[in-house]
Amino acid sequence: MKTIALLSFAAAALGAPRGTTEPLAAKLSVVATTPDLASLAKAIGGDAVDVKALAKPTEDSHFVDAKPSHIVTLNRADVLIEGGAELELGWLPPLLESARNSRIAAGAPGRVVASHGIKMLEIPETFDRSKGDVHALGNPHFMIDPLNAKIIAADIADHLAQVDPKSADVFKANLQAFNTALDAKLAEWQKQLAPYRGAKIVTYHKDFVYLAERFGLVVVETLEPKPGIAPSPAHLAKVITTMRAEKARVILVQPYQNRRTAETVARQTDAVVLDVSQQPGAIKGTDTYLDLMDHLVQTLVNALQGDK
């Protein structure tokens, strides 16, 4: 009796073990490295998937802790979606080494690398760290261009269908719905930002280049002198001079970036600091990718409008 009780307790405590080759009949376990990718996965997967993001919406996705709970999450995943282009280079590899999950191995149907279909901007000609921590494969913050989100959504739908063929029709339908919604929204955003083509903006890090490219904005300066290098007084003086000359009155700052530095510069240039994020969930009311872009565009329009 005691043995049976002990074994039952052990079985209950351990839960159901999972093999490393066959996906479960229940919902697919989809893991995304960042919340923006998770948002696309939710839109495409719908009820057929359970989606989890490893990075928090409010944290710097270059520097996520490779904590052991992420190993467990990756071990149980049917699909992994990563940004790629070296964004997760500082933390994903040791997690994958410990994850023991061939479903999400490189090249497997369950492994989606978002950067693979994207036309990358700012691919460096030489690899030289005196230029700061430049990503060798180009600027990895490409999700902030809605047309890139469409490409990635299609890629996700494709991989989900390979992993779970019986739900392929669901994914296709969801993708179509997503594309329809996004096309309509994109037309709206283009219309809202049209009067501000050529407007000069400043960002903390070089992370809004794809947005600028898509909507015709001009990033005249970043508060970081070089990617990953802290703002120095000398560089900030240069930024202030440039902002005055170019009449740039808007500084974009994400939740994990140093707002006080941005405020100091804003005070000296009559500019306004905009609290924005590239990750759904960081700011209230931005739980999906489309909501996030809505908030971003509206925030920009309000600020640039006030300027005119």
Q: Which residues bind another protein (CB under 8 A)?
A: 13-21, 56, 58-60, 62-63, 65-69, 71-72, 75, 89-94, 97-98, 100, 102, 105-107, 129, 132-133, 228-230, 255-258
Shortest distance (Å) from residue 146 CB to another protein: 25
Q: For residue 227, what are its two tokens?
A: 């990617």
Residues 6+ apart with CB under 8 A from 194: none
Complex with another protein: residue 146 or 231, whichever CB lies closer: 231
C-beta of 279: minimal distance to another protein in Å? 11
SS3 of 194-210: the string is HHHCCCEEEECCCCCHH
Q: How far is the CB of 242 from another protein (least distance, A)?
A: 23
Nearer to another protein by Cβ, of 79 and 161: the residue is 79
Shorter beta-carbon distance to another protein: residue 129 or 166: 129
User: Whole-number minimum distance, CB 93 to another protein, in Å?
Assistant: 5
With respect to another protein, which residue has the nearer C-beta, 74 or 153?
Answer: 74
Which of 54/193 has CB closer to another protein?
54
CB of 15: closest distance to another protein in angstroms?
Answer: 6
Q: Measure the CA–CA gap between 305 and 274, rounded to whole angstroms.
A: 13
HEC per residue, 76-139 = CCCEEEECCCCCCCCCHHHHHHHHCCHHHCCCCCCEEEHHHHCCCCCCCCCCCHHHCCCCCCCC
Please report how close the Cβ of residue 286 comes to another protein at its closest, in angstroms: 15
Task: Round to whole Å and give the CA distance between 69 and 84.
Answer: 21
**Closest to another protein by CB, 1 or 14:** 14
Spatial CA neighbour of 45 closest among 144, 164, 143, 145: 164
